[in-house]
Amino acid sequence: MKHYLKLMNFELNRFFKIYLVLIGLTIISQITGTIIESKAYVSLANEAIHKNLVPLEQFFEDNQPMSLVRLLTSGWFLIPIVLAAAALLFYSFFIWYRDWFGKNTFIYRLLMLPSARLNLFFSKLSAIFLMVLGLVGTQLILLPIEQQLIKWLVPKEFRIDLSIRDSLTASSASSFFTLLLPDSFIQFLVNYGIGLLFLVVLFTIILFERSFHFKGIFLGGLFGIAAMVLFFSPYLIESALNYYYLYPIELFILEVILGIAIIGASIWVSSYLLNKKVTV
């Protein structure tokens, strides 16, 4: 456990500066966007109502009342989230390959540490997962701040005060926000459990490539396809037969079992590759 924690801390520190930049970019972009969007809306409303003498009801027919929904669909809000997600996806590859490439092949030192090699796998997996949760936590903190800013900057007659959950649901990107910020703990476990499964399988594919090189790309690809087919097999079978044998709760339990089985198999294969095929 001590070696695992040290390795995880090491991995977090290696990406910490870039991670802070991602968080800072998210905070600055969304707060700035909230201020700009709010002031732009107030300016638009004042010009239409007080200068052009457009009735308030007519203005609201042409422009929805100001709310958090307007911000959620703007580039100020979405672009930093997409950049952060892309950066972490890229780092999911880079976290392994940076150890193999460079002036000093650092992977040799890591594999020769007096601890189980699987600790290296779990430390990298935990580091990425913690960074994802950190970004989600940052977003959860930002949403009420942004909502309060809108209340301060936009007069009450020009806005509609929805709850944060209702704002997320009313947004045109509601399916994306439901995936990112589930509305129940069970859904949170499901969404991020699937994300964890994806990372574990991805790491196993990378280790196949690192163990067998060009041949490993093919083997890793087969492993990834097999994992995907197995996970979606209940849906594929029912769709092919055009008959739905399972109740939703039974299908959910089966998917949980399959997901756990795939994660377990991936970890076992990764352990084998790290101990038997990846050499120093």
Question: Residue 235 has what pLDDT?
Answer: 87
Mean pLDDT, rounded, for 50-79: 83
Question: Residue 134 has what pLDDT?
Answer: 93
What does the DSSP assignment read for 153-216? HS-GGGB----HHHHHHHSTTHHHHHHHS-SSHHHHHHHHHHHHHHHHHHHHHHHHHHHHTHHH
Residues in contact with 95: Cβ distance below 8 Å, sequence separation at least 6, in sequence order: 11, 15, 124, 127, 128
Residues in contact with 229: Cβ distance below 8 Å, sequence separation at least 6, in sequence order: 236
Question: Residue 128 has what pLDDT?
Answer: 92
Locus of tokens 């979405």: 78
Q: Is 141 exposed, middle or buried (0-12, 13-18, 19+ CB in 10 A)?
A: exposed
Question: Residue 146 has what pLDDT?
Answer: 93
Domain definitions of the chain by residue range:
1-170, 182-280
Question: Residue 57 has what pLDDT?
Answer: 80
Q: Kindly indicate the confidence band of residue 130, based on its pLDDT and cuts at 50, 70 and 90.
A: very high
Residues in contact with 227: Cβ distance below 8 Å, sequence separation at least 6, in sequence order: 201, 262, 265, 266
CA–centroid distance for 174 within its chain: 15
Highest mean pLDDT among 58-67, 180-189, 206-215: 206-215
Three-point CA angle 133, 138, 142, nearest 5°? 145
Of 51 and 258, more confident: 258
Pull the structure tokens for residue 26.
Answer: 């998210």
Question: Residue 279 has what pLDDT?
Answer: 63
Can you tell me the distance from the alpha carbon of 202 to that of 125, in angstroms, rounded to the nearest whole number? 10
% of the chain at pLDDT higher than 70: 97
Question: Residue 125 has what pLDDT?
Answer: 92
What are the backbone dihedrals phi and psi of residue 160, each rounded to the nearest 5 degrees, phi first? -125, 130
- The conformation of residue 230, written as its DSSP 8-state character, comes to H
Q: Give the count of beta carbons closer than 10 Å to the beta carbon of residue 72.
A: 23
Q: What is the pLDDT of residues 77-129, one digit of tens each?
A: 989 999 998 999 888 888 888 777 755 567 777 777 777 888 888 999 999 99
Question: Residue 196 has what pLDDT?
Answer: 93
Q: Kindly indicate the confidence band of residue 165, based on its pLDDT and cuts at 50, 70 and 90.
A: confident
